[in-house]
Chains A and B, each alone.
Chain A
């Protein structure tokens, strides 16, 4: 029997996947990683993309995530998926907003913030399209 590794994929709003897999592919920030059983402990942020869970021969499930964290233990993979769009500038803008609300100030929003938001949205949309493309190809092969 082949070795398996336990995989948990969760987002703040729901549990997405939980089960055993042979290999897990995840889009880490420095390139896609494939995790097999007995992998060394590993921590990395994830970028928008798809997490593919290889369950067995010709059995694969894929999930689209918009970023998050990956934790690997020798027999356990945890994917903490983000539900919100994250980028440093957006966070800062949100922080600014919260402060402004407290100060009851009404200032015009920065054009730069909109730009960074658009950029993050674009990256997410592209990753979504790629994931769709791949799904289509898999279907054609079958």
Chain B
């Protein structure tokens, strides 16, 4: 059995760890609230641009933009959104698992001679694909807790250019979906070509927009913003997920530390009692011998 002093230092060290995890838990809780607020704030834009795209799908435009047309899939691109920091439970691991499953599936579909274009957001994804290998064409890291669209523009443009040049024929987004504080679900969404939702397919009378200056230019700008808003939304949501996951992970770490301290305290008390008993019996034995 470990001696009393050893156990005492162990308890002290675990108590220190517990202090840290508890502090991290509280920080994550307050950051999560802010991240959720931001998620709410970015929602109106996403809703409105969705509505516009919905209208566009209902219209019968003479000009169809490449982003809205399906074409033969020779190669795919994928954007993976992860967190910048660890200590958030299985959030990133689960995300990468989902990403890998999809990547393998796509790789089978397009054949092994082509490399899937990967785009990473957040240092964790960058690190993961550096280890795993893969054709990483662009990356953005250290976006902080309050990312702006500007941080993403470059990365999105790389992928859109690849789509325009025919290097990729489909673009996917892999990111975490914020279900609630306890649950975050990794999800794979198709960004390009844009898929109209069911309600958009309703048949109505034939009409088309007036475009100024011209349909290709206007649609290019609109659809680019649509894609950007989807990716931005994904990023903001992922930050909320990260904080929520961290909060839960740190809470269970603090609880586990508490349990460990209790057990160690018990062991310490037992060891101390054993030492005392031994001493007494030695004294009694000594006295009897005299």
Contacts and interface: CB of A to CB of B under 8 A. Distances in A.
Interface in B132-149: 136-141, 148-149
B212 A41 contact: no
Contacts of A60: none
29 contacts: A10-B48, A12-B229, A13-B45, A14-B41, A15-B41, A15-B44, A29-B213, A40-B210, A41-B55, A41-B209, A42-B212, A43-B219, A44-B218, A69-B52, A78-B48, A78-B52, A80-B45, A80-B49, A94-B150, A94-B154, A94-B155, A95-B138, A95-B161, A98-B157, A99-B154, A101-B138, A101-B140, A102-B137, A102-B138
A65 to B, nearest CB: 13
Interface residues of B, number: 44
Contact of B212 (A44, A90, A96): A44
Nearest to B149: A84
Contacts of B42: 12-13
A28 interface: yes
B212 A10 contact: no
B189 to A, nearest CB: 18
Nearest to A39: B210
Nearest to B136: A102
A92 B222 contact: no
Given A12-B149, A95-B155, A99-B158, 13 more contacts: A13-B38, A13-B41, A40-B210, A41-B59, A42-B212, A71-B52, A80-B48, A80-B52, A82-B225, A84-B150, A94-B155, A95-B157, A96-B154
B51 interface: yes
Interface of A: 8, 10-15, 28-30, 40-45, 69, 71, 73, 78, 80, 82-86, 90-99, 101-102
Nearest to A18: B44
Interface string B40-73: 0110110011011001100100000000000000
A12 to B, nearest CB: 5
Contacts of B44: 8, 10, 14-15
Contacts of B153: 84, 86, 90-91, 94-95
A43 B138 contact: no
Contact of B139 (A8, A41, A80, A98): A98
Nearest to A14: B41
A138 to B, nearest CB: 28
A91 B149 CA distance: 11
B232 interface: yes
Given A11-B45, A14-B41, A43 B154 contact: no
Contacts of B232: 12
B211 A98 contact: no
B262 interface: no
Contacts of B221: 45, 69
Contact of B48 (A8, A94, A95): A8
B255 interface: no
B55 A73 contact: yes
B212 A95 contact: no
